[in-house]
Amino acid sequence: MDDAELRRIQEALKAWEEETLRPALERRPERQAPFETSWGTPLQRLYTPADTAGLDYLRDLGFPGEHPFTRGVQPTMYRGRLWTMRQYAGFGTAEETNRRYHYLLAQGQTGLSVAFDLPTQMGYDADAPEARGEVGRVGVAVSSLEEMRILFDGIPLDRVSTSMTINATAAILLALYAAVAEERGIPAGRLAGTVQNDILKEYIARGTYIFPPGPSLRLVTDLFAWARTEAPRWNTISISGYHIREAGATAVQEVAFTLANGIAYVRAALEAGLAVDDFAPQLSFFFNAHNPLLEEVAKFRAARRLWARLMRERFGARDSRSWALRFHAQTAGSMLTAQQPENNIVRVALQALAAVLGGCQSLHTNSMDEALSLPSEQAVRVALRTQQILAHETGVAESADPLGGAYLVERLTGEIEAAAEAYIEKIEGMGGALHAIEFMQREIQEAAYRYQQQVESKARIVVGVNEFATEEPPPVGLFEPDPKVGATMAERLGRLRRERDGDRVVRALDRLEAAARGPANLLPPILEAVKARVTLGEICHRLRAVFGTHHPSQVF
């Protein structure tokens, strides 16, 4: 747009404000609402080409499948292949979760996503004293190769991609998965999926860490190196902004802190001797699909553009796959309400729409009853049908980046990118994400406090909670996992320890410890240990003896 055209639009805008807008405001003033973004900047009542005057189409937008990937990572986007419908599920025993997986696949789900219980996430076997009362509560309990076999019984691992939300023990769970596949004659090279493996966000926002940051990052990069040759179709990390947003971050903070963590992982891999284009194509991301629909679409676009520029300009990546930010999205659990839970169906549909319009590669839609309990089969089916309706009935998947060019969306995309980049440079000035954890925690806490103040003052309305509330009877018929799961697992583990080859177990653990004390890649001895029927807790116990454990008061 030339300067003359821009001046003409600006003059017309001033005339509109005086002749049309001002009389309308005199007759009916605007609502007293916080017309602002999640990060607190004002939202204008109208956006015009003047708000995107600095946009260079080829530099800033380009075309789908090409740098800077603002408009999507695939040239045809969903016309070539729909996003993977990957419902997050796991509870109780491996048998119970396996039944749920078969149910979801029968309903048209196209990928699996495993939720593990807290003991599994924290490196304890189900019969450990530390696990008492938590086994199978927030995910499936997996302590050994036997549970992993049962979990994926009857599921074609070479044809179904699997995502595993696991971090501190990610290397062990991936080894268990690869061992089960090998037993079936499926080499690791044919496996497709993702392991979250994002330990930095655990220190920042979630808390399921075991080891100090140094050894934790070693496990991350060892997994990168192993998968490069052994499992090249596997996404070795899902750098996660989801939990950062769930903790209260704004859209800008979610992008900034996630990409800052991504930079830290790239540096750690380079320091471990890997070449950037050898591991970067296997990096993936995980974002929250939150309530402000247009802001969220802009957020996804901004994240893609900023990552492409960082990878090409800062790290010198030459493979276009290293520039492309591929991401899974999950609708916002923190926005689900226990009050009037059926309203969550609408919330989830709109959040999912934002993820699709923003170009996600896979998507989980939360169930309406998750603010009350583990989801029921009926609620899970409605959540999955929400994705299927978006895919097949709305037309939003028929064009790449359908909101590209909208003045508001382009302005917000630029604002988010610029603000996130400023955060990243501040974090880099502190020495990188590893040294800025307390800073990021404070920023998230302040944003969460500001949001809660708005809810409590009713400046921000939450339907059914602080407005439009109704008296409701207590919910009935909520889903609960079998309370005997802990005893069942303890009995199974006792039998495993009696029947396995004890000498082989000791040898495997000794080799693992020796590798941990030296520079060797830890994935091969971990894989050897799980094949010897060493349990997850036993592996972590040996690694704790070498690495120690992390305490939040430690200086990074």
Could you report the per-residue pLDDT of 22-46, keeping only the tens digit for each? 999 999 999 988 899 999 999 999 9
**Across 115-122, average pLDDT:** 97
H-state helical runs in 430-478: 437-456
pLDDT tens, residue by residue, 39-82: 999 999 999 999 999 999 999 999 999 999 999 999 999 999 99
Cβ 280 vs Cβ 232: under 8 Å: no
Give residue 484's pLDDT. Answer: 87
Which residues contact residue 499 at a Cβ distance below 8 angstroms, ignoring those fewer than 6 apart? Answer: none
pLDDT tens, residue by residue, 269-315: 999 999 999 999 999 999 999 999 999 999 999 999 999 999 999 99
Q: Is 237 helix (H, G, I), strand (E, B) or coil?
A: strand
What is the value of pTM for the model shown? 0.95
- Using pLDDT thresholds of 50, 70 and 90, give the confidence band for residue 556: very low
Cβ 368 vs Cβ 379: under 8 Å: yes
- SS3 readout for 312-324: HHHCCCCCHHHHC
Instruction: Assess whether pLDDT exceeds 90 at residue 2.
Output: no
Q: Is 166 helix (H, G, I), strand (E, B) or coil?
A: coil
For residue 14, the one-letter residue type is K
Structure tokens at 167: 């971090």
pLDDT tens, residue by residue, 303-351: 999 999 999 999 999 999 999 999 999 999 999 999 999 999 999 999 9
84-89, strands of its sheet edge to edge:
234-235, 193-195, 161-165, 111-115, 84-89, 362-364, 327-331, 283-289, 237-240
- Using pLDDT thresholds of 50, 70 and 90, give the confidence band for residue 553: low
Which residues contact residue 79 at a Cβ distance below 8 angstroms, ignoring those fewer than 6 apart? Answer: 397, 398, 399, 400
**Across 350-373, average pLDDT:** 97
Angstrom distance (rounded) from CA 49 to CA 447: 31
Instruction: Assess whether pLDDT exceeds 80 at residue 477.
Output: no
Instruction: Assess whether pLDDT exceeds 70 at residue 241.
Output: yes
Q: Is 195 helix (H, G, I), strand (E, B) or coil?
A: strand
Q: What percent of the chain has pLDDT over 70?
A: 99
Angstrom distance (rounded) from CA 90 to CA 176: 16
Give residue 474's pLDDT. Answer: 80
Sorted by where each begins, the domain ranges of the chain are 82-456
Handedness of CA 167, 171, 173, 177 (dihedral sign): positive
Give residue 310's pLDDT. Answer: 98
Give residue 479's pLDDT. Answer: 76
Furthest CA-CA distance within the chain: 88
Q: DSSP E strands: which ranges in 301-353?
A: 327-331
Angstrom distance (rounded) from CA 530 to CA 177: 10
Of the given ranges (312-326, 466-480, 523-537), which has the lowest mean pLDDT?
A: 466-480
Average pLDDT, the chain: 96
58 DSSP 8-state letter: I
366 DSSP 8-state letter: -
Angstrom distance (rounded) from CA 286 to CA 170: 16
**Across 104-114, average pLDDT:** 95
pLDDT tens, residue by residue, 412-439: 999 999 999 999 999 999 999 999 999 9
Q: Is 83 helix (H, G, I), strand (E, B) or coil?
A: coil
Whole-angstrom CA distances from 37 to 14, 44, 240, 295, 408 are 24, 10, 22, 7, 12
Q: DSSP E strands: which ranges in 177-333?
A: 193-195, 234-235, 237-240, 283-289, 327-331
Strand 234-235 to 237-240 pairing: unpaired
Structure tokens at 324: 């492309």
Q: What percent of the chain has pLDDT over 90?
A: 94
Helix, strand, coil distribution of the chain in percent, nearest 5:
55, 10, 35
Cβ 65 vs Cβ 345: under 8 Å: no
Give residue 555's pLDDT. Answer: 45
If one looks up domain 82-456 in CATH, what number appears?
3.20.20.240
Q: Is 114 helix (H, G, I), strand (E, B) or coil?
A: strand
